[in-house]
Amino acid sequence: MALIRAFETRVAELYRDGEIPGFVHTSLGQEAVAAGVGEALAEGDYIATTHRGHGHCLARGMEVDGMMAELFARGAGVCHGKGGSMHIADPSRGVLGANAIVGASLPLAVGAGLSSKRLGQGRVAVAFFGEGAVNQGAFHEAVNLAAIWDLPVLLVCENNLYAEFSDSRTLTRVPSVVDRCAAYGIEAESVDGNDVAAVYQLTQRAAERCRAGDGPFLIEAETYRWHGHYEGDSQPYKPDDEATSWRERDPLEVSTARLTAGGEASAEELATLREDALARVDAAIDRARSLPSPDLEEAYADVFGN
């Protein structure tokens, strides 16, 4: 969580200062979902994520250097500078990619889950998505297929209350994603998305269920994005006091309080951990700044099959 917080904080600053091209969507405030889910998965499991996917990628072990270089559009980036923030991927780690299309992670994960089942691999496929994506047809088609085929698919809804610029609670008469899943006959549970231990425990149980052949499972993680839909969004659609109340439930501070109260770590140790994470990210930024852009020939690579 400390690494994700440091990465997203610096990325927001770099985008503001014009050093990172394209669009950027940060997950500040949502770190516990990525970290809790990522830690509970097995090494070979798949994830498909969203336009707000940096944290998910870091939680699955993608290298900070390669990710930062990718955001800087450098040739040494994990996608050779051609993916950027919204299309970052690393198939070697099971990261099927971030995606700018709302809800596109769901059919990708269903495909990966079908592959795992047909090949007997025992791999779980995770789809991260926001509650706004539940109003897309892709959600309903993907969940229905996963259900009738009993696929090892874990559906992780990061309910941060806003679908782009709209309060998602005003977009449907049934705002609970868990309740809406009843129509497909799959198990679903909600969890405090700012409590990394709770997210981890539920994900571990859900992943074991998927791996045992019991079909898909949906987790609705209730959380909040601190920044706007994209960096630069002034968020006029949010009540003035809402962000303040959610920042008091900062996932890192929740964990700090638990760890210090239980004697598992001191406040000084945790502060050092956060400082080390920021130093690691800053080193990746310095490296990315010094790297060359991709060669022009790279524009034709990976476009057509050989």
User: What is the model's pLDDT at position 306?
Assistant: 52
Residue 286 lies in a domain: yes
Contact 113, 142 (CB under 8 A): no
Residue 11 lies in a domain: yes
How many domains is the chain partitioned into structurally? 1
Domain span at residue 268 reads: 2-293
Residue 235 lies in a domain: yes
Contact 251, 28 (CB under 8 A): no
User: What is the model's pLDDT at position 229?
Assistant: 86
pTM above 0.75, yes or no: yes
User: What is the model's pLDDT at position 305?
Assistant: 61
Residue 264 lies in a domain: yes
User: What is the model's pLDDT at position 169?
Assistant: 86
Residue 298 lies in a domain: no
Task: Read off the pLDDT of residues 12-30 as tens digits, 9 standing for 90 and up.
Answer: 999 999 999 999 999 999 9
Residue 302 lies in a domain: no
> pLDDT under 50 in the chain at which residues?
none
Q: Determine the number of helices (DSSP H) and then strands (DSSP E) in the chain.
A: 11, 7
Contact 76, 41 (CB under 8 A): no
Q: What is the CATH number of the domain that holds 36?
A: 3.40.50.970
Residue 263 lies in a domain: yes
Residue 303 lies in a domain: no
Start-to-end C-alpha separation, the chain: 41
| Phi and psi torsions of 152, nearest 5° | -80, 65
User: What is the model's pLDDT at position 277?
Assistant: 98
